[in-house]
C-alpha cells in the first residue's frame, strides 16, 4: 500500500500502534474480567478501567502539548512523565 500522501513517520506510526494496542488490551481485559472494576478514587466519583484509560490518554496529550510549547521538540521526557501520570491515574483515580 502507498501511504506517502499521509506523511507517515516512524514516531507517528508508533503512536497510533500504541493507542490501538491499548484499546485492544483493554478489550481483552474486559472480556476475561467483565465489569470494568468500578471504584471511587481521589476524584470522588466512580470510574472504570475505560474511564481511567481515557483520562490518562487525554492527560498525556496535554502533557505532550505543554512540553512542546514550553520546552521543545525532544519528547522523551514528556513520554516518561506521561507514563508516570498514567500509572498514577490507574492507581489513584
Residue span of the structural domain in which 65 resides = 4-92
* 3-state DSSP assignment of residue 39: strand
Structure confidence at residue 11 as a pLDDT band (50, 70, 90):
confident
Query: What are 42-78's pLDDT values in tens digits?
Result: 989 999 988 999 999 999 999 999 999 999 888 899 9
Structure confidence at residue 9 as a pLDDT band (50, 70, 90):
confident
* 3-state DSSP assignment of residue 49: helix
pTM of this prediction?
0.81
The 3-state secondary structure of 28-47, one letter per residue: HHHHHCCCCCCEECCCCCEE
- Contact status, residue 29 vs residue 49, Cβ threshold 8 Å: yes
The total of structural domains in the chain comes to 1
C-alpha to C-alpha distance for 8 and 58, rounded to whole angstroms: 22
Cell of 21: 494496542
Amino acid at each position: 500500500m502507498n501511504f506517502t500522501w499521509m506523511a507517515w513517520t516512524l514516531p507517528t506510526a508508533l503512536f497510533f500502534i500504541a493507542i490501538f494496542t491499548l484499546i485492544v488490551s483493554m478489550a481483552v481485559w474486559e472480556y476475561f474480567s467483565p465489569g470494568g472494576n468500578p471504584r471511587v478514587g481521589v476524584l470522588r466519583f466512580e470510574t472504570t478501567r475505560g474511564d481511567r484509560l481515557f483520562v490518562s490518554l487525554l492527560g498525556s496529550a496535554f502533557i505532550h502539548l505543554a512540553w512542546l510549547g514550553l520546552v521543545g521538540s525532544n519528547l522523551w521526557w514528556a513520554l516518561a512523565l506521561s507514563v508516570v501520570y498514567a500509572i498514577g491515574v490507574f492507581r489513584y483515580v
